[in-house]
Structure 1
Amino acid sequence: MDATTITIIFIVLSALVAVVLRKIKKDKCLKDFRDDMVTLELLNGQQYKGELKLKSSGLKFDYPELIKDEQSLKFLSFLLYKNEYPDIQAVVRYHHDLTAEGKKLRQEDFEKTFHPSRWRRLRRSILNFFKIIKDAVIEILNLMTSHLSKTTPVGAAISSNDREVNKMKNELYGLVETSYEPLLEDYIGERVILELKKGSEWVKYNGVLKDYTAEFIELIDVDYALETSGRIDADLIVLRKYGIVRNLSE
C-alpha cells in the first residue's frame, strides 16, 4: 500500500470519526433531564414547557398540548440551538410535572447523589484523575505521532496531513468532559447555596449540587418558589456564567 492510498484512507477515516464524535457528544447535565417535562426560562423572560429531547446541536421541547398564538398559528414544539445556549436563564424540572415513573427514577438518582456509594465516589475520582492529566496525555500522543512519522512509512504519510491529524485529535479531546473544578468537587452531593443572576439581581437557592460541566451547573431538590409563595420543589440546570455556587449549606 503506497503513501497516497494510506493518506486517502486516513483522511476518510478521520472525517468519519469526527462526524460520529460530534453526533454523540452531549452535555452530561442536560442528559439528566432528557425525556422529562421541563420548563425552559430564557433571559428575555420567555418560557417554554415541554418534554426535553437532547440533540448534539441543541434542545427540543415537545409541548404537552397544541398551542395557538394570537394569529391562530399552531405550535407543537420549540427548538433551542446550541449557539443560543447563552440565552438560557434556567432549565427547570418541576417535580409536580413528572410522571409517577419519572418521580421514582428521580428519587433514586437523588439518593445516589446525596448518599453516593463507594463505587460512585471511586468512579468520579478516576474520571477526575484523567481530567487532571489530560494535558500530559495530549503531550504523550504528540510525541508518539512525531516518533512514528520519523520511523515508519505509515507515520510519514500521516504526518504529511497534519491538518487532518490535528482535527481528529481535537475531536477526540473535545469528546471527553475535561471540566474540573476542585472547589466544586468538594461540594458534589452536598447542600449548597447557588447565587443565580436574574436581571440586575442575584437570587439565592438552596439545593444539592448534582454535577457541573464547562457550561452548566446542575442543582437538585431546590425550592424554586417566589418568596411570596409556598415551596415549589424543582431541579435546576443553569449556565455557569449566571450561576455561582457560593456556600455550603444544610
Structure 2
Amino acid sequence: MDTLAFWLPLLLLFVSALMGTALKRRTRDHCLKKFEGSKIILPTSTGKWESGRLKVFAQGIELTFSEAKKEPCGSVNSLVLHPNEVGQIPYFLRPAPPPDTRLGVTWERELQRIRRPSMTDRGWRAALNFYNMLRDAFGQAAQAILGAITKDSSFSKVKNSDKRMSEMQAGLTELVPNAWEPVLEKYRGHPIVVERKTSTGLIKESGILEDYSSKYLLVREVEVREPELLKFLEDNPKLGTKHDLVYSRGTSMIRHTLSEQSQSLTPA
C-alpha cells in the first residue's frame, strides 16, 4: 500500500506533464493556422518584405523559401521567427490563387461559404461561442477537480505538482479558441474596414471578416491601400490582384462596417 501511495502521485504528475506538453504544442493561433502551407508575404523591420511557405508553431513561425537565398554564412532555405519577433509583424499577406485554377475556384467557394455559412457551419460556431461564454465556468470546474486531486497528502508532497496540474488545466482551456467578442462575431462574413498604423500614419482597408482571435484579425479579399505595399504588389504582378490578410490587433482594429452593396472604401 505504501508503494502504491508513493508511485501513484509520480505517475499522475508524469501524465499531467505529458498532457500539458502535448496540449501546449497544439495551441497555435487559429487565424494564423488558416495560412498554414500557403505562400505569404510579411514586412520586415528594415522596410522590405519576406515571402515563403508558412509553417505555424506554438512558439513561432517558419517561412520556407522557394529558392535558397545566399547569405555570407551560406545558402539559407528558410527564415525562423520567434514569438517576440512574430508579435512585431503588423500583418501577413496571402495572395489569392489565379481564378482560372482549381485552387482559385476553391478560394472563391470558401469566400462564398464565409459570406453565406451553411446551417452546419452556423451550428458549429454557435456551439463554440456557447463554450466561450461559459469558459470561465469550465475553467473553475476544472480547477476545482484538479485542486481536489492535488490536496491529496501524498500528491502534494511531490515537488512542482501544483505547477504541473495548473499547466495542464491551462492547456485544456486554451486548446479551444476563446476570443469570443459579440461585436466582431456579429460581422463575421460581412464587409468591414480595418484601420491600422503604418510608418506614414493611419490607413483604412476594406475586406470580408472571416475570423478573429485575441491577437489577430483574418480578413479576406482585402483592398490594399498602403502605398509601399501597393508598389510592391504592382512590381510583382504574379501575386495577383486579390489578397487575404491576417492583421495584428496590436496595430490594427475594425473601425467601420460597410453595406453589402459596397466593397470599396471611399477615402475619409
Specify the TM-score bucket, using the shorter chain as the normaliser. 0.7 to 0.9
Aligned to 1:11: 13
Distance 1:147 1:30 in 2: 37
Q: TM-score, normalised by structure 2?
A: 0.81
> Residue 91 of structure 2 aligns to which amino acid in structure 1?
A
Could you tell me which runs of 5 or more consecutive residues in structure 1 were left unpaired when the two chains were aligned.
none
8 A contact 2:197–2:203 mirrored in 1:
yes
Matched, 1:22 2:24: yes
Aligned to 2:175: 175
Aligned to 1:42: 44
Q: 1:20 to 1:146 in 2, by over 3 A?
A: closer
8 A contact 1:18–1:168 mirrored in 2:
yes
Summarize the alignment of residues 101-180 of structure 1 with structure 2, pairs less than 5 Å apart: 101-146=102-147, 157-158=154-155, 161-180=161-180
Distance 1:87 1:46 in 2: 14
* Aligned with residue 57 of structure 1, among 56, 59, 72: 59
Distance 1:165 1:209 in 2: 37
Offset of residue 182 of structure 1: 1.1
Aligned to 1:239: 248
Offset of residue 123 of structure 1: 1.1
Distance 1:98 1:64 in 2: 22
Offset of residue 127 of structure 1: 0.4
The alignment partner of 1:33 has SS state of coil
Matched, 1:248 2:257: yes
Matched, 1:197 2:197: yes
Aligned to 2:68: 66
Aligned length: 245
Offset of residue 96 of structure 1: 5.3
Q: Percent identity?
A: 24
8 A contact 1:217–1:238 mirrored in 2:
yes
> Residue 126 of structure 2 aligns to which amino acid in structure 1?
S
RMSD over aligned CA atoms reads: 2.6
The alignment partner of 2:177 has SS state of coil
Aligned to 1:77: 78
8 A contact 2:99–2:105 mirrored in 1:
no
The alignment partner of 1:83 has SS state of helix
Q: 1:245 to 1:43 in 2, by over 3 A?
A: farther
Offset of residue 43 of structure 1: 4.5
> Residue 245 of structure 1 aligns to which amino acid in structure 2?
I
Could you tell me which runs of 5 or more consecutive residues in structure 2 were left unpaired when the two chains were aligned.
235-239, 260-268
The alignment partner of 1:26 has SS state of coil
Q: TM-score, normalised by structure 1?
A: 0.87
